[in-house]
Chains A and B, each alone.
Chain A
């Protein structure tokens, strides 16, 4: 978060981290980035959204000032050294919104690049065009939350007026970086938009992996009904015809977390889901990222320091 005075805008709590833990990349979730690799999951405090169902409200919604005594105080160099010590192949910002901590993340990106570690993030992509370019300079791979399309949904559940900046930024980031999209589905609120969201993603790039989450009632919605898995899954049927990589999870033992070859339907990547950040790789069947059945290319970003390219998550 930021404050401003005559000297300009500055970050209020630089290099203060709410989370710092070793994790597997599937649990973030990234399903199409270096499967099975370990990452250092980090986060700060605060958010530019006010989602009614925030699963990290403890960090995202509470006053950052009140949280300072419980945060990690780690320099970018220490964060990167820790990632190396824990055999992590990337750092992923995954707790709150990265745009609230840009200066610190620029510093981390510099250190990480020097160490050959790429950065990824979860983001709501509610940024200016300039802000989006800054995110692209920091992060090599993105999971962007597309929460809903209608103004009414975004006003009621998210606290913003319009989704248009998010759509613009998904288009832009998908051109230059690896992008996955995530959508928590709330029955009666945004489930009727599933078809339209699938159309939008397909119009950007049908190879974009789409994570559809069953909403886990939390925060202001903790007393909401658990959405019907069968109903959401049925609503996804037509989306699967437009997008080859549709995943439906955030609940234990999901049947829809494997990557199937878009051409022949063979299982290319087998995963297991415990829901709620507990996903992991089971088996990888696509040697050299090619389907073992028909040889079709499976879109996977590989973590490496160079070269630059959309299929490669460079540091």
Chain B
């Protein structure tokens, strides 16, 4: 059983990750993790100290668990850049702070670091309003490039094809064919996938809340810091990490919202794409990195996610995830592993690490922190 320990500021409880029921969790790993959560209250997604929380929490776990593989995400600059008007210098300062935090972690822990940026941000130029369609357009709030199109009328198709800010409309068979999908996977793929031009984001009926200032740019490639290694595609990062693990303890570090333009460390371009498709920051990109294979179909862009949310109550702490993804690096690695991040509540799913600590923030509301213990038998 995977155990979730939720710390809601002075309110700490253990749950069965799958069922959400209270769990009688005990043992040295549980006690160690409880202590880590108590010592590191999450400052909030938009707080300047958010990235420091990642390093501090990870170092605390290092001291007590001594993992060989560490998966980290630094995301404060992504959230702040997305929703706060700031100068290029100010944004550059935030990115520099994030890398200082990563450097502090690497120096203090002595691990070998492989760092990947999830891609550049660009100014938000406007919304593509697809709320008036006869059919249904779907994208999540965090997706800007892609929206699924379901049951469009001929009038919808004409309107969308003539829309100046829509780059392409890709039919389902082409989407499925690109990633070699099965018939079952095709069923969850929208009839069409719409692609927005640079700077534009779809506005759909299932959209929510805040309007962004910056959004992910066109990122067919992303920057990779991997000294001494030639990795041309994000599906190759996993192998590079595994090879490094044969000699060293390794930290795979993801820098959210940082692309080739702003990545301050030496880096090489790494393909983040397959033909016309590239990954936006999110779980599919993470899973592709940690599994070493394209993972479009786990939760495909533009699918009717709301229909699946309540098909089962399994994994209530895990957002739209309805199972623990297979094939992740952390899940396969026989040594000790941890993951820490302030990106979202999916670190425990995408990393597969023995222990994952993440912020528990929903729509930027800071509810505290959560740790998931997938394995407690390695201490």
Among A229, A251, A282, find the residue whose CB has the most chain B CB atoms closer than 10 A: A251
Q: How far is the CA of A74 from the CA of B207 in the complex (A)?
A: 14
Is A58 close to B, CB under 8 A?
A: yes
Q: B205 within 8 Å of A by Cβ?
A: yes
Query: Within residues 245 to 263 of chain A, which ones have a CB less than 8 A from any CB in chain B?
Result: 251-253
Does B185 sit at the interface, judged by CB under 8 A?
no
Chain A CB within 8 A of B356 CB: no
| Chain A 208-256 residues near chain B, CB threshold 8 A | 216, 218, 222, 226, 228-230, 251-253
B136, B306, B365: which contacts A216 (Cβ < 8 A)? B365
Which residue in A85, A229, A274, A282 is a CB contact (below 8 Å) of B10? A229
Question: How long is the Cα–Cα vector from A218 to B129 in the complex, in angstroms?
Answer: 30
Q: A58-B210, A253-B8 are in contact. Are A276 and B205 (CB under 8 A)?
A: no
CB neighbours of B203 from chain A (8 A): 72
Contacts of A85 in B (CB 8 A): 136
Partner of B367, one of A19, A73, A216: A216
Interface flags, A37-50, vs B, CB<8A=1, else 0: 01000000000000
Tell me if B266 is interfacial: C-beta within 8 Å of chain A: no
B122 to chain A, nearest CB (A): 18
Whether a CB of chain B sits under 8 angstroms from the CB of A268 is: no
The answer, among A58, A86, A218, for a CB contact under 8 Å with B306, is A86
Contact of B365 among A21, A272, A276 (CB under 8 A): A276
Of A253, A275, A277, the residue contacting B15 (CB under 8 A) is A253
Contact indicator A78/B132 (Cβ below 8 Å):
yes
- How far apart are A49's CB and chain B's nearest CB, in angstroms? 20
Residues of chain B lying within 8 A (CB to CB) of residue A22: 206, 306
Closest residue on chain A to residue B136 by CB atoms: A85
Indicate if B296 sits at the interface (CB-CB under 8 A).
Answer: no
Shortest Cβ distance from residue A111 to the other chain B in the assembled complex, whole angstroms: 16
A272 touches B132 (CB 8 A): no
CA–CA, A70 to B370, complex, Å? 33
CA distance A24 to B316 in the complex (A): 14
Contact A229 B11 (CB under 8 A): yes
A82 within 8 A of B: yes
In the bound complex, do residue A253 and residue B207 qualify as a contact, i.e. CB atoms below 8 Å apart? no
Q: Is the CB of A72 within 8 A of B131?
A: yes
Are A21's CB and B11's CB within 8 A?
Answer: no
Inter-subunit contact B206/A275 (CB<8 Å): no
B67 within 8 A of A: no
Question: Once the chains bind, are A58 and B209 in contact (CB under 8 Å)?
Answer: yes
**B367: which A residues are within 8 A, CB to CB?**
216, 251-252, 274-276
> Does A304 count as interface, using CB distance less than 8 angstroms?
no
Tell me how many residues of A have a C-beta within 8 Å of chain B.
Answer: 35
Report which residue of B136, B203, B316 has the largest number of chain A beta carbons within 10 angstroms of its beta carbon. Answer: B316
Q: Is A51 an interface residue (CB 8 A)?
A: no
With a cutoff of 8 Å between Cβ atoms, the chain B residues found around residue A282 in the complex are: 20, 313
Which chain B positions have C-beta within 8 A of A278?
362
Closest to B208 in A: A21
A216 to B44, CA, bound (A): 12
A280: interface (CB < 8 Å): yes
Contacts of B313 in A (CB 8 A): 272, 280, 282
Residue of A whose beta carbon sits closest to that of B366: A216
Cross-chain contact B365 with A252 (CB below 8 angstroms): no
Minimum CB–CB distance for A133 against chain B, Å: 32
Flag whether A104 is at the interface (Cβ < 8 A).
no
Contact with A along B338-379 (1 / 0, CB 8 A): 000000000000000000000010110111101000000000
With a CB–CB cut-off of 8 A, which chain A residues contact B132? Answer: 74, 78
Q: Tell whether B69 is near chain A: CB-to-CB under 8 Å.
A: no
**Interface 0/1 of B214-248, CB less than 8 Å to A:** 00000000000000000000000000000000000
Q: Which of B15, B209, B316 makes the CB contact (< 8 A) with A19?
A: B209
- Contact indicator A229/B211 (Cβ below 8 Å): no
Expressed in whole angstroms, the minimum distance between the Cβ of B296 and any Cβ of chain A is: 24
Selected contact of A226 from candidates B9, B20, B129, B306, CB within 8 Å: B9
Give the residue among B10, B203, B205, B362 with the most A Cβ atoms within 10 A. Answer: B205
Residue of B nearest to A233 (CB): B11
Quick one: which of B8, B136, B209 contacts A275, CB cutoff 8 A? B8
Residues of B within 8 A of A276 (CB): 362-363, 365, 367
Which one of A216, A230, A251, A274 lies within 8 Å of B317 (CB-CB)? A274
In the complex, are the beta carbons of A21 and B362 less than 8 A apart?
A: no
A58 contact set on B, CB distance < 8 A? 209-210
Whether a CB of chain B sits under 8 angstroms from the CB of A170 is: no
B209 touching A280 by the CB < 8 A rule? Answer: no
A162 proximity list for chain B (CB < 8 A): none
* Chain A residues close to B by CB (< 8 Å): 19-22, 24, 36, 38, 55, 58, 70, 72-74, 78, 82, 85-86, 216, 218, 222, 226, 228-230, 251-253, 272, 274-278, 280, 282
**A–B Cβ pairs within 8 angstroms, 20 of them:** A21-B206, A38-B310, A55-B365, A58-B209, A72-B131, A72-B205, A74-B132, A78-B132, A86-B206, A216-B367, A226-B10, A229-B10, A230-B11, A251-B367, A252-B370, A253-B13, A274-B317, A274-B362, A276-B365, A277-B362
Tell me the B residues contacting A by CB distance below 8 Å. 6, 8-11, 13, 15, 20, 22, 44, 127, 129, 131-132, 136, 203, 205-211, 306, 310, 313, 316-317, 360, 362-363, 365-368, 370
